[in-house]
């Protein structure tokens, strides 16, 4: 195939047309998938909320309270789950920055008395096959129905009650740290305001 001559005009024009076409196409696809992406994100969150709190019939992802975390600029989100106006639990979006891959985000479901109902992992950058075992039952089943007031949220190596994941002590520590952060924030709001409505 004959090569086209590269003149200044033809080069400028070609690059202009290529980038114009590319941005037009991308804008179109973005518009097309915008709603589906937003739906997938919110479905993901409400699915996680559903897994961590007892049965509810309100819409917790729209009914939430922001609690500032101890470090500047970070926020914990409390999603309130209700069944016919009775509060059945809170899903607390919490985090730990001590994880092996940096940030670990969990959703911790607490019953009104502070007992852990269930924990879901929202976001992590842990090593596949090692740290990712935190989603497996062997580790995660230690938390439901425990009250962190009595159940010490530390790995056994550090004098706590949690069995760490084999070869992933750092991830296990971060997991405990995140759950503890959610529980501390919860008890704080309870004592400060005399219970949340």
Partner 1 sequence: MNQWRNFIKGFIKENPVFVLFLGMCPTLGTTSSAINGIGMGLATTFVLVLSNVFISLTARFIPDKVRIPSYIVIIASFVTVVDLIMKAYTNTPGPNGEPSLYDNLGLFIPLIVVNCIVLGRAEAFASKNSVFSSFIDGFGIGLGFTFALFILGSVREILGSGTFLYPALNFKFIKGDGMLAFVLAPGAFLALGYLIAIMNIVKKRFAK
Site for partner 1, rule CB under 8 A: 1-7, 10-11, 14-15, 18-19, 22, 25-26, 29-30, 33, 36-37, 40-41, 43-44, 47-48, 51, 120-121, 127-130, 132, 135, 166-167
Nearer to partner 1, 69 or 105 (CB): 105
- Say how far apart CA 157 and CA 85 lie, in whole Å: 43
- Say how far apart CA 149 and CA 60 lie, in whole Å: 25
- Say how far apart CA 146 and CA 188 lie, in whole Å: 18
Shortest distance (Å) from residue 69 CB to partner 1:
23
- DSSP secondary-structure letter at 155? B
What residue has token string 């985000």?
A: 105
How many separate helices (H) and strands (E) can be counted in the chain? 3, 5
Shortest distance (Å) from residue 163 CB to partner 1:
14
Nearer to partner 1, 30 or 70 (CB): 30
User: Are the C-beta atoms of 183 and 165 separated by less than 8 Å?
Assistant: no
Nearer to partner 1, 106 or 185 (CB): 106
Shortest distance (Å) from residue 99 CB to partner 1:
15
Nearer to partner 1, 1 or 85 (CB): 1
Shortest distance (Å) from residue 120 CB to partner 1:
5
Nearer to partner 1, 144 or 195 (CB): 144
- Say how far apart CA 188 and CA 65 lie, in whole Å: 14
Shortest distance (Å) from residue 106 CB to partner 1:
11
User: Are the C-beta atoms of 180 and 106 separated by less than 8 Å?
Assistant: no
């Amino acid at each position: 195939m004959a090569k086209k001559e590269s003149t200044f005009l033809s080069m400028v024009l070609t690059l202009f047309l290529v980038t114009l076409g590319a941005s037009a196409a991308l804008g179109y696809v973005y518009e097309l998938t915008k709603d589906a992406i937003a739906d997938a994100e919110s479905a993901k969150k409400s699915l996680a909320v559903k897994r961590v709190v007892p049965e509810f019939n309100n819409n917790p992802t729209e009914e939430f309270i922001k609690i500032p975390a101890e470090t500047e600029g970070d926020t914990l989100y409390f999603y309130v789950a209700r069944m016919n106006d009775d509060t059945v639990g809170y899903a607390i979006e919490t985090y730990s920055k001590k994880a092996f891959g940096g940030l670990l985000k969990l959703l911790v479901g607490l019953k009104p008395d502070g007992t852990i109902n269930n924990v879901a992992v929202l976001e992590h950058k842990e090593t596949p096959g090692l740290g990712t075992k935190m989603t497996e039952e062997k580790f995660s089943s230690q938390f439901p129905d425990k009250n962190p007031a009595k159940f010490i949220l530390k790995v056994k190596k550090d004098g706590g009650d949690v069995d760490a994941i084999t070869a992933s002590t750092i991830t296990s520590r971060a997991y405990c740290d995140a759950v503890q952060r959610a529980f501390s924030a919860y008890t704080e709001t309870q004592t400060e305001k005399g219970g949340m409505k």
